[in-house]
């Protein structure tokens, strides 16, 4: 039984497997700027994720900022997104000189609610940025319909959806662009890293310039870009971790069923819904606790687990509109009270990785059944 036990624990390659890669890096003395390991990982991820244009970044936030930048949105334009997300989603909008507009989540699956998105659209709306939260896939058809009718780019923050498919179709091929995070807390990681994916081959050159200062060659800078390049050490970790991803995903799938075996029928416990035809990324195990029906609050359960060095996460709490930069921003909703205001007091993510042992599960079960 390992303690403390956290929500996430990264897969790591064996140290001995690093040596030949490190020797190659040291021999070549090419550390960044599109080295051979970077290019090898980019090609491997394009195949693995089934995405024609899949370009690596040094982190997911820079990739998200670039995704917004590539559509040349007007300064001050509004981008509709969810408040139930990591702060980087909203920050990427603001960093681009755009205005985040928050729409409510669906009470059923906690993803961006299409009806609330429609209600949030104004003449200044420039794009939609949706999030596949906890690995649960957004209402793809409804959001695409809204985006098409209003002529809006549709971008997905797919940080929680690595490897997900919908009826066999890769998640990164929906919408106009998708961004993946390879932070150490993610199923697949490169310590830090990210990827920007689109369905269009012609986007590759645009993304390349945006990722590399707008540099065309030794003497030409043809646009305004940023330094978003992934280095060779990050790519090395990615190449060594990628073959381990499926085993870890299967381990987490079994853990999901183990959790569901004692949580599914408890009054006041609501789990993320199963989505027919969707292959789950197995990124997080999230639930909601209704204090009236369950008899205890989310915070009660959180503290009980914490007392045993089991660190669940109130994720996402606070939500974006609770943070200083966005405090006071309205949440557009089709309900009298935004659903997310209640969700944020109830949501909890349990430890979910290959390091969770049977004894850990037994202790977590005891907390919920006590």
Flag whether 148 is in a domain. yes
Q: Determine the Cα–Cα distance for residues 185 and 194; give it in Å rounded to an integer.
A: 12
Q: What is the pLDDT of residue 247?
A: 98
The verdict on 79 and 209 lying in the same domain is: yes
Flag whether 9 is in a domain. no
Q: Determine the Cα–Cα distance for residues 112 and 167; give it in Å rounded to an integer.
A: 21
The verdict on 210 and 250 lying in the same domain is: no
Q: Determine the Cα–Cα distance for residues 192 and 29; give it in Å rounded to an integer.
A: 21
Flag whether 48 is in a domain. yes
Q: Which of 80, 88, 99 is nearest to 316 (CA)?
A: 88
The verdict on 263 and 328 lying in the same domain is: yes
Q: Determine the Cα–Cα distance for residues 282 and 161; give it in Å rounded to an integer.
A: 8
Q: What is the pLDDT of residue 176?
A: 98
Domain boundary among 177, 210, 243: 243
236: Cα separation from own chain's centroid = 22
What tens digit of pLDDT does each residue of 166-194 get? 999 999 999 999 999 999 999 999 999 99
CA-CA distances (angstroms) from residue 58 to 87, 221, 247, 294, 304?
18, 21, 25, 43, 37
Q: What is the pLDDT of residue 3?
A: 76
- Coil, helix or strand for 99? strand
Q: Mean pLDDT over all residues of the chain?
A: 97
Q: What is the pLDDT of residue 1?
A: 55
Beta bridge partners of 349: 286, 313
Domain boundary among 210, 243, 276: 243
Whether the CB-CB separation of 196 and 78 falls below 8 Å is answered with: no
The verdict on 38 and 146 lying in the same domain is: yes
Give the domain range for residue 218: 15-243
Residue 297: Cβ within 10 Å count = 15
Domain boundary among 217, 243, 269: 243
Flag whether 154 is in a domain. yes
Low-confidence ranges of the chain (pLDDT < 50): none
Q: What is the pLDDT of residue 2?
A: 62
The verdict on 255 and 279 lying in the same domain is: yes
Flag whether 6 is in a domain. no
Q: Determine the Cα–Cα distance for residues 132 and 128; give it in Å rounded to an integer.
A: 13
Q: What proportion of the chain, given as a percentage, has pLDDT over 90?
A: 99
The verdict on 34 and 180 lying in the same domain is: yes
- Give the CATH number of the domain where residue 167 resides: 3.40.640.10
The verdict on 289 and 329 lying in the same domain is: yes
The verdict on 106 and 228 lying in the same domain is: yes
Number of domains in the chain: 2
The verdict on 164 and 56 lying in the same domain is: yes
The verdict on 188 and 157 lying in the same domain is: yes
Flag whether 156 is in a domain. yes
What tens digit of pLDDT does each residue of 326-336 get? 999 999 999 99
- Give the CATH number of the domain where residue 327 resides: 3.90.1150.10
- The CA radius of gyration of the chain, in Å to the nearest whole number, is 21
The verdict on 172 and 236 lying in the same domain is: yes
Flag whether 266 is in a domain. yes
The verdict on 61 and 154 lying in the same domain is: yes
Flag whether 69 is in a domain. yes
């Amino acid at each position: 039984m390992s303690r403390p036990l956290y929500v996430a624990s990264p897969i790591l390659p064996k140290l001995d497997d690093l040596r030949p890669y490190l020797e190659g890096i040291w021999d070549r003395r090419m550390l960044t700027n599109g080295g051979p390991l970077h290019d090898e990982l980019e090609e491997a991820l394009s195949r693995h994720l089934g995405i024609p244009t899949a370009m690596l970044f040094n982190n997911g936030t820079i990739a998200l900022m670039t995704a917004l930048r590539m559509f040349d949105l007007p300064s001050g334009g509004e981008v509709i997104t969810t408040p139930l997300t990591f702060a980087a989603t909203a920050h990427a909008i603001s960093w681009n000189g755009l205005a985040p507009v928050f729409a409510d989540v669906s009470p059923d699956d906690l993803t961006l609610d299409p009806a609330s998105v429609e209600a949030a659209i104004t003449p200044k709306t420039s794009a939609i940025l949706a999030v596949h939260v906890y690995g649960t896939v957004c209402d793809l058809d409804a959001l695409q319909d809204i985006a098409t009718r209003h002529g809006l780019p549709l971008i997905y923050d797919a940080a929680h959806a690595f490897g997900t498919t919908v009826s066999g179709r890769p998640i990164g091929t929906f919408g106009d662009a998708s961004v993946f995070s390879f932070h150490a807390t993610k199923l697949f990681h490169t310590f830090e890293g990210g990827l920007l994916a689109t369905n269009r081959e012609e986007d590759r050159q645009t993304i390349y310039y945006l990722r590399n200062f707008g540099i065309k060659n030794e003497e030409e800078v043809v646009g305004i870009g940023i330094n978003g390049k992934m280095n060779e050490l990050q790519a090395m970790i990615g190449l060594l971790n990628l073959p381990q991803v499926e085993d870890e995903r299967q381990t987490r799938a079994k853990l999901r069923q183990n959790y569901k075996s004692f949580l599914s029928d408890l009054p006041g416990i609501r789990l993320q819904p199963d989505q027919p035809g969707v292959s789950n990324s197995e990124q997080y195990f999230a639930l909601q606790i209704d204090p009236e029906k369950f008899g205890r609050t989310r915070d009660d359960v959180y503290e009980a687990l914490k007392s045993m060095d089991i660190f669940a996460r109130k994720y996402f709490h606070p939500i974006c509109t609770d943070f200083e930069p966005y405090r006071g921003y309205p949440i557009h909703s089709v309900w009298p009270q935004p659903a997310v205001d209640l969700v944020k007091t109830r949501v909890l993510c349990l430890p979910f990785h290959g390091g969770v042992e049977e004894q850990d599960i037994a202790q977590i079960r005891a907390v919920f059944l006590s």
